[in-house]
Amino acid sequence: MMIRRLGSQILRVAIRRAGPELRGWGKAMLNEMDAIENDWAALRWAIGGAASLFRGFELPISDVAEVPERFERIQNTVRRAHVVGYLACFLVMAGFSHYFVIFPNLGERVGCVLTILGAGLLAVQLYSNHVRRRRAASHGDCSTAMDRYRVLLEHMRDFHRGTWFWSRMIAILPGPLLFAYAFHRTHPEPLASFLVGIIAFLVFGILAIPLNLNRSRKFQRELDRLDDLRKRL
């Protein structure tokens, strides 16, 4: 029973945070939990419903009136993500600039430079994407809302795939690996600790690939739904 209440609470929180047009769907999901006999199955149902609510822009668009609200929601989400990205880039660049000064080894310094350049490329991409989004939002009335939304979705789709994505992966990964290797050579430490750090970094890099490509596919699905809505008008 405790497990079912936990699932119910998770779904209720998601409903409260969801947009007005999604709350009815969320309440229907909550009501359907009563028909699920197994508590663990009910918890999985609630988690799935909550995840759908949190990524609510993926739900099919049924009316053109929903477009401005969805546009604004994605704008706000992306804006917050970019702020976090800028902060991360600044911290990485500041940290490795400090390491460049205090570590005299050539390998360590080259690793620092590559890491700084990788973080700089990410910052440039974030800024460029911000400029593109501002241009997408530069039009006003409701008759152009679908076009503005489409441009925003296209920009975000391309940010997470193709040249944008692979160029920053290629730029970001080598620097920290070279720095870690050079640091280990000049400051011997247990091999196990070194390997754990390298493996953790590589796992993070590998996971970034499906996560970004999956996000790109989500934006593409929303584009397809937007095109279907345009055809019905």
Q: What string of DSSP letters covers 41-85?
A: HHHHHHHHHHHHHHTGGGSPP--GGGHHHHHHHHHHHHHHHHHHH
Q: What is the pLDDT of residue 55?
A: 62
Distance CA 227, CA 88 (A): 36
Distance CA 120, CA 89 (A): 7
Alpha helices, DSSP H only, in the chain?
2-17, 20-32, 39-54, 67-102, 106-136, 145-159, 162-172, 174-186, 191-232
Q: What is the pTM of this model?
A: 0.72
List the structure tokens of 121.
């490329």
Q: What is the pLDDT of residue 116?
A: 96
How remote is the C-alpha of 90 from its chain's centroid? 19
> What does the pLDDT profile of the chain (233 residues) look like in tens digits?
677 788 788 888 878 777 666 777 778 878 888 788 787 888 888 887 777 776 655 566 767 777 787 888 788 888 888 899 999 999 999 999 999 999 989 999 999 999 999 999 999 999 998 887 777 666 544 456 788 888 888 888 999 999 999 999 999 999 999 998 888 888 776 777 778 878 888 888 898 999 899 889 888 988 888 888 877 76
Q: What is the pLDDT of residue 23?
A: 74
